[in-house]
Amino acid sequence: MTGQIKSLDEYHSEYARSVADPEGFWAEQASSFEWRKPWKQVLKWNFREPKVNWFGGGRLNITENCLDRHLATRGKQTALIWEPNDPKRKARKITYKQLYGLVCQFANALKAQGVKKGDRVCIYMPMTPELSVALLACARIGAIHSVVFAGFSAVSLADRIKDAKASVVLTSDYNSRGPKNIPVKQVVDEALALGCDSVRHVIVHQNTGDPLQMVEGRDIWWHEAVKGKRKSCKATAVDSEDMLFILYTSGSTGKPKGVVHTHGGYMVYTEYTFRNVFQYQDGEVYWCTADIGWITGHSYIVYGPLLAGATSVMFEGIPTFPDPGRFWAVIQRHKVNIFYTAPTAIRALMAAGDQWVKGRRMPSLRVLGTVGEPINEEAWQWYHERVGKKRCPIVDTWWQTETGGIMITPLAGITPLKPCFATLPMPGIQPCLVDANGHEIEGNDVEGMLCIKYPWPSILRTTYGDHERCRQTYFATFKDKYFTGDGARRDADGYYRIIGRVDDVINVSGHRIGTAEVEDAINKAPRVVESAVVGYPHDIKGQGIYAYIITSGPIADMAAFKKEVLDTVTKEIGAIAKPDKIQVVPGLPKTRSGKIMRRILRKIAEGDTSNLGDTTTLLNPEVVDEIKQGAKSA
């Protein structure tokens, strides 16, 4: 491993070096890994097509760097501490050696099912160690994993399986979450009934052991699949730019797109950021509470920590089960040093009352982190005082599915903090703010749309099966820049503060949801003619979902209608996309060209109707007053 940045001066000099000589800088980082064959060219790129190649010609396998490389020195060290949903059950500890064995064995099982390099494997599993094993086993044999968060519905799962043309689905019988056992495999059955013709096999991990229907010839138990398989498996060497995984994420328009990350660059960047942002020290216990179904789990539960040889906690349950003191109990139980969570969890626990955290001594804690959405000042202060007892730096890490790793963040204990600021870019990251005309806004104390000017190793390479969509979405808005979709401020000290999305994406409890997707789902409900969805400020979730709906006629039973809408959204997308407020409206404010004026709807949803701006250009200005009146009943 190369070293860590140890001081603010060193950060500034590393940053300057990474901009003056990006290739030299990243080549140095990359050289601390094991490559089967060295790269020929560090970087080749243009943002026009776009085409970005890092470490071209290099061959490697990321799992050799996550596992094999550590065996001699860390074989007996715990890689994973699994904390089950039920606090009365014993935690499971898995050493690097054991994890290596499990990954190899399952890789052999996948091979036996005919999975080959380049095949897509869809993973729809709860937070058990087998989920990590599943990702790594795919990577071991060069198969491309596509993890789908186990809270998505059968329809969403089917869409993702079809888009990736997955040949195998990995799942579990049930998901233990809080007091409930959710039938995960049943969702897979429902998804496959929607015509996922590419799927040959389903491998089912027995998690709870509750009764289950297996489909003869298609379904195989995980424990049967690994029976007699060897605990060693030579890793398949892949090209640095071969696909490692696809992860679907929501955007402004259409269905979620499959963001593609590749082996070499993703490996270098996730390890580098993990080590430097959290300032991980050998022997420390690190805990990221995300789900592996999202990018945070991919990069900072599975790959980053393992690449860095860390010990991490993986948690099956939810923050409020059996009570809102669970996170703090787990921190005490496993002597967690670094704790990384989402603002929405902090706000929920803060709302549950101080009694759950008061009196809890957590002397092991050294670093706190947040991710996924802007953190408000109150939550930041509470986290700092009540959880970190004013001793622990908070790293507010800004990044995205598409960026693969943390982009703008303090380095723990090094960067002077400002509440709610993601502060400064990581070395190698060249952010800029642009105005609506695409002109870069220079200087400090300014606000604009956040773009990145130069490639970094884990930038997305494409959107699966549709490169043009990737170009359009990220590289066409502003010439020669990657557009993040976020608005940001740069203050007098040059610190960045992320304001939030400037596109039609809502961030609900740190989950990215496209308004168009939710509208499509709502429109499938009975009696819905048209809908428009916007975000509004929500105390716990950050943003809530507000749906305006035009119906085909008067609704006699409003409660029953709203339930139908919620059920339809749950069926089409999943419970995470359920609107918090529904308002039936006589019409939607539209421009003369037929475009919905979301600005007005957003204002009304926010409860701010004092200044709706110019409504005279609307086709139907009269609906605005009616919507304003009706908003009280939503």
Q: What are phi and psi of 288, to 5 degrees?
A: -110, 125
Does the footprint of ligand PRX cover residue 153 (CB under 6 A)? no
Which of the ranges 54-62, 150-158, 393-401, 532-540 carries the binding residues for ligand PRX, by CB under 6 A?
393-401
- Spatial distance between the Cα atoms of 628 and 604, rounded to a whole number of angstroms: 6
Q: Report the nearest approach of ligand PRX to the CB of residue 499 (Å).
A: 8
Residue keyed to tokens 């089960």? 321
Which of the ranges 99-107, 174-182, 319-327, 368-376 carries the binding residues for ligand PRX, by CB under 6 A?
368-376
Which of 398, 464, 482, 483: binder of ligand PRX (CB under 6 A)? 398
Of the candidates 561, 566, 564, 563, the residue with the CA atom closest to the CA atom of residue 576: 566
Six token digits for residue 48: 């026009």
Does the footprint of ligand PRX cover residue 119 (CB under 6 A)? no
For residue 535, give the H/E element and its range: strand 528-538
Which of the ranges 70-78, 165-173, 289-297, 353-361 carries the binding residues for ligand PRX, by CB under 6 A?
289-297
Q: What are phi and psi of 287, to 5 degrees?
A: -135, 120
Six token digits for residue 119: 């095949």
Q: Where does residue 445 rank: exposed (0-12), middle (13-18), buried (19+ CB within 10 A)?
A: exposed
Q: Report the nearest approach of ligand PRX to the CB of residue 239 (Å).
A: 26
Q: How many chain residues interact with ligand PRX (CB under 6 A)?
A: 23
- The residue at minimum Cβ distance from ligand PRX is 401
Six token digits for residue 73: 């020195």
Does the footprint of ligand PRX cover residue 485 (CB under 6 A)? yes
Does the footprint of ligand PRX cover residue 426 (CB under 6 A)? no
Which of 400, 543, 551, 583: binder of ligand PRX (CB under 6 A)? 400
Of the candidates 298, 164, 140, 318, the residue with the CA atom closest to the CA atom of residue 232: 140
Residue keyed to tokens 């809908």? 531
Does the footprint of ligand PRX cover residue 525 (CB under 6 A)? no
Own/partner pairs, 351-354, CB within 8 angstroms, 24+ separation: 351/539, 351/540, 352/320, 352/324, 353/324, 354/386
Draw the binding track, 238-267, toward ligand PRX (x: CB under 6 A; -: no contact).
-----------x------------------
- Spatial distance between the Cα atoms of 488 and 273, rounded to a whole number of angstroms: 21
Which of 160, 334, 501, 578: binder of ligand PRX (CB under 6 A)? 501
Q: Report the nearest approach of ligand PRX to the CB of residue 488 (Å).
A: 9
Six token digits for residue 94: 């898995």
Hey, what amino acid is at 387? V
Residue keyed to tokens 């990321």? 62
Does the footprint of ligand PRX cover residue 105 (CB under 6 A)? no
Q: Toward ligand PRX, which CB reaches closer, 408 or 585?
A: 408
Query: Half-sphere exposure (CA, 13 Å, Cβ side) for 482?
Result: 25
Does the footprint of ligand PRX cover residue 456 (CB under 6 A)? no
Does the footprint of ligand PRX cover residue 270 (CB under 6 A)? no
Which of 18, 85, 240, 296: binder of ligand PRX (CB under 6 A)? 296
Distance of CA 359 to the CA centre of its chain: 33
DSSP for residue 126: -
Does the footprint of ligand PRX cover residue 372 (CB under 6 A)? yes
Which of the ranges 23-31, 324-332, 372-380, 577-585 carries the binding residues for ligand PRX, by CB under 6 A?
372-380
Does the footprint of ligand PRX cover residue 371 (CB under 6 A)? yes
Which of the ranges 35-43, 120-128, 495-503, 554-562 carries the binding residues for ligand PRX, by CB under 6 A?
495-503
- What sign results for the dihedral spanned by CA atoms 433, 439, 440, 443? negative
Which of 139, 147, 295, 368: binder of ligand PRX (CB under 6 A)? 295
Which of 143, 313, 498, 525: binder of ligand PRX (CB under 6 A)? 498
Give the N- to C-terminal CA distance of the chain in Å, as an integer.
55
Does the footprint of ligand PRX cover residue 503 (CB under 6 A)? no
Q: Report the nearest approach of ligand PRX to the CB of residue 177 (Å).
A: 20
Q: Report the nearest approach of ligand PRX to the CB of residue 545 (Å).
A: 15
Does the footprint of ligand PRX cover residue 373 (CB under 6 A)? yes
For residue 11, give the H/E element and its range: helix 8-20
Which of the ranges 95-103, 292-300, 381-389, 523-531 carries the binding residues for ligand PRX, by CB under 6 A?
292-300
Total Cβ atoms within 10 A of residue 476 = 14
Does the footprint of ligand PRX cover residue 504 (CB under 6 A)? no
- Spatial distance between the Cα atoms of 587 and 578, rounded to a whole number of angstroms: 22
Q: DSSP characters for 307-374?
A: HTT-EEEEE-S-TTSS-TTHHHHHHHHHT-SEEEE-HHHHHHHHHT-GGGTTT---TT--EEEEESSP
For residue 273, give the H/E element and its range: helix 263-277
Which of 63, 153, 397, 423: binder of ligand PRX (CB under 6 A)? 397
Does the footprint of ligand PRX cover residue 551 (CB under 6 A)? no
Which of the ranges 78-86, 365-373, 475-483, 543-551 carries the binding residues for ligand PRX, by CB under 6 A?
365-373
Which of 50, 84, 374, 579: binder of ligand PRX (CB under 6 A)? 374
- Spatial distance between the Cα atoms of 584 and 181, rounded to a whole number of angstroms: 35
Which of the ranges 49-57, 106-114, 399-407, 460-468 carries the binding residues for ligand PRX, by CB under 6 A?
399-407
Total Cβ atoms within 10 A of residue 594 = 7
Q: Report the nearest approach of ligand PRX to the CB of residue 486 (Å).
A: 5
Q: Report the nearest approach of ligand PRX to the CB of residue 295 (Å).
A: 5
CA distances (Å), origin 17, targets 13, 193, 425, 430, 484: 6, 54, 13, 12, 24
Q: Report the nearest approach of ligand PRX to the CB of residue 24 (Å).
A: 28
Q: Toward ligand PRX, which CB reaches closer, 128 or 249?
A: 249
Does the footprint of ligand PRX cover residue 95 (CB under 6 A)? no
Give the contacts of 616 (CB within 8 A, at least 6 positions apart): none
Does the footprint of ligand PRX cover residue 399 (CB under 6 A)? yes
Q: Toward ligand PRX, which CB reaches closer, 240 or 249?
A: 249
Own/partner pairs, 220-228, CB within 8 angstroms, 24+ separation: 220/113, 222/106, 222/109, 222/130, 222/170, 225/106, 225/109, 225/112, 225/113, 226/105, 226/106, 226/108, 226/109
Q: Toward ligand PRX, which CB reaches closer, 461 or 512?
A: 512
Binding site for ligand PRX (CB under 6 A): 249, 294-296, 371-374, 396-401, 422, 484-486, 498, 500-501, 507, 512
